Structure formats: structure tokens, C-alpha cells
């Protein structure tokens, strides 16, 4: 200790590791405090309620649909962002990224602004539904925040594949599309699967947009994160904490599954 400890810089690993442990314990406490608050008996009670599972499945299917929509747009868009170069590419990419970097509450306000206008008012007239007051509003919010996110993740997955494989494939006479579907996509498969899970989890975590944009119908639009806010306003702490636990479990499971597939959440 003392002199040698300081002089040889041993303090540095000790400091970094203790800071890391402090941060980890803060986050663990943050995540686990719900269980301590709720207690075992209540956890069992709330998890056995049908309302909980009905909301869970609502969250699952809405985020699955918005994830598939985002994938349809995101895979080609991510490929274009990764492989092609064009003037003002950074500016272009920044604007594409805007919906994910600004506060989601802003997205809610902006969606609230556009849904009474041109393309949306026609749809709502034709189908005699109020866009933004039902589950389509939920899908629209989720799609808005996830499609750019998806393109971003796809770009990262495609960036990891060296372009020389495409070159080889094309020089052997394969067409561009054939190359994309037979060479690039299979190589990016793991990355796409991993990104898919992250996009799904991100869609399932969206609620701020819903708050300004979609009203709440019991069992219709109250996907879990939104229901947390609504029940918080209804004073139902039991529901709120138990749904928070479900949300945390969903996020942790999704991230663990992604890691299992071999995606790296942090390195791109």
C-alpha cells in the first residue's frame, strides 16, 4: 500500500472497479426496489389477474406489428445508408435519425399535429374511425419511433459485413438483387435477428407519444408502459409496480435473447 500503490498506478484499477460496482449496485437496487415494495403475496396476486395478461398480449402484438413494419422499411433503408454514398449523407442520416433522438413527448405532439390533416383525415373519414384514438394510433406512434431506429441498427449490421463478398458475388455474374438476397442477407442474418429483438423491445417501451396523442381505452390502447402512467394517475400502485416488473422482465429477456443470438448491444 501507500507509496508503491500510488506510484505504480495500482489505484487506477481499484478505483475503476469500485466505481463500476457502485454503478452496478445502484442499477440493481433501482430494478429490484419494485419487488421489495410490492412483496411476494401481492406479486402473486397481480400476476394471476387476467387484466395483466390481457395487457401483456396487447403490448406483444402491437409491438410485433410495428416491428414487422419497421423491418420492411428498415432493412432496405439501412442497406442504402450503409452502402451508398451521396452528397450530404450525414445531414440526410441526421434527419432520418431525428424521431429517435428528440424526446418522445415531442413525437407525440407532432403526431397530434398531423393526424387531422391530409392523408390521415381521408383515412379516418373513409373507415369512420378516429385515427389516434384507437389501436392504430398506438401502432403509428410505435412505428414512428422504431422505423428510424431499425434503419439505424440495420445500417450497423450491414456495416459489419465487408463489401468484398458482394464484389466477389457480382464479379461471378450474380445480379445485384441476387447478391443482396443470397449473400448479404444470409450473412447479416444474426445481426438482423438481434436488431429485430431490440426494435421489438423499443416498440414495447414506447409510451410518451401515446400520452399526448392517443387517449386511453381500457384494454384497447393501454399497452403496458402507457397503462403504468394511467394506473399511476388512478392511484393503483399495485398495478403500477407489478406492470413495471413485467416491463423490466420483458426488456431484460429481450436483451438476454439478443446476446444469446450473438448480437452485441453496445458495439457497432
For another protein, what does the binding mask look like between residues 197 and 236, x meaning CB under 8 A? -x--xx-xxxxx--xx--xxxx-x---xxx-xxx-xxxxx
- Contact between 180 and another protein (CB under 8 A)? yes
Span 114-153, contacts to another protein by CB under 8 A: 114-117, 127-130, 133-136, 139, 144, 147-149, 151-153
Rounded CA separation 164/101 (Å): 33
Span 80-99, contacts to another protein by CB under 8 A: 80-85, 89-99
- Contact between 110 and another protein (CB under 8 A)? yes
Rounded CA separation 108/209 (Å): 4
With H, G, I as helix, E, B as strand and everything else as coil, classify residue 112.
helix
Sequence-separated (6 or more) residues with CB below 8 Å from residue 104:
145, 206, 207, 208, 209
Rounded CA separation 54/63 (Å): 14
For another protein, what does the binding mask look like between residues 248 and 267, x meaning CB under 8 A? x--xx-xxx-xx-----xxx
Q: What is the DSSP letter of 28?
A: H
Rounded CA separation 166/161 (Å): 9
Query: Shortest distance, CB of residue 40 to another protein, whole angstroms?
Result: 10
Q: How many CB atoms lie within 10 A of CB 66?
A: 27
- Contact between 79 and another protein (CB under 8 A)? yes
- Contact between 10 and another protein (CB under 8 A)? yes
- Binder among 47, 53, 54, 237 for another protein (CB under 8 A): 237
- Contact between 36 and another protein (CB under 8 A)? yes
Query: Shortest distance, CB of residue 8 to another protein, whole angstroms?
Result: 5
- Contact between 183 and another protein (CB under 8 A)? no
Q: How many CB atoms lie within 10 A of CB 138?
A: 28
- Contact between 17 and another protein (CB under 8 A)? yes
Rounded CA separation 173/217 (Å): 56
Query: Shortest distance, CB of residue 122 to another protein, whole angstroms?
Result: 14
Say if residue 184 is exposed, middle or buried (CB neighbours under 10 Å; 0-12, 13-18, 19+): buried
- The count of residues interacting with another protein (CB under 8 A) is 151
Amino acid at each position: 500500500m501507500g507509496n508503491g500503490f500510488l506510484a505504480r498506478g495500482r489505484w487506477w484499477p481499484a478505483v475503476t472497479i469500485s466505481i463500476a460496482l457502485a454503478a452496478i449496485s445502484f442499477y440493481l437496487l433501482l430494478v429490484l426496489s419494485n419487488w421489495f415494495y410490492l412483496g411476494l403475496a401481492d406479486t402473486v396476486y397481480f400476476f394471476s389477474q387476467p387484466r395483466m395478461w390481457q395487457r401483456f398480449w396487447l403490448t406483444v402484438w402491437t409491438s410485433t406489428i410495428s416491428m414487422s413494419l419497421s423491418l420492411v422499411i428498415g432493412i432496405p433503408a439501412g442497406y442504402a445508408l450503409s452502402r451508398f454514398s451521396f452528397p450530404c449523407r450525414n445531414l440526410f442520416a441526421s434527419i432520418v435519425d431525428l424521431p429517435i433522438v428528440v424526446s418522445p413527448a415531442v413525437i407525440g405532439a407532432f403526431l397530434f399535429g398531423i393526424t387531422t390533416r391530409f392523408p390521415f383525415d381521408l383515412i379516418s373519414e373513409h373507415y369512420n374511425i378516429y385515427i389516434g384514438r384507437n389501436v392504430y394510433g398506438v401502432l403509428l406512434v410505435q412505428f414512428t419511433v422504431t422505423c428510424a431506429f431499425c434503419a439505424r441498427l440495420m445500417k450497423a449490421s450491414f456495416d459489419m459485413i465487408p463489401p468484398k463478398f458482394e464484389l466477389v458475388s457480382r464479379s461471378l455474374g450474380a445480379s445485384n438483387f441476387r447478391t443482396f438476397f443470397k449473400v448479404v442477407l444470409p450473412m447479416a442474418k444474426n445481426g438482423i435477428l438481434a436488431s429485430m429483438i431490440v426494435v421489438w423491445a423499443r416498440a414495447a417501451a414506447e409510451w410518451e407519444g401515446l400520452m399526448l396523442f392517443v387517449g386511453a381505452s381500457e384494454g384497447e390502447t393501454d399497452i403496458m408502459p402507457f397503462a403504468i402512467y394511467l394506473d399511476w394517475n388512478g392511484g393503483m400502485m399495485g398495478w403500477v409496480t407489478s406492470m413495471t416488473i413485467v416491463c423490466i422482465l420483458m426488456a431484460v429477456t429481450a436483451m438476454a435473447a439478443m446476446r444469446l443470438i450473438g448480437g452485441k448491444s453496445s458495439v457497432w
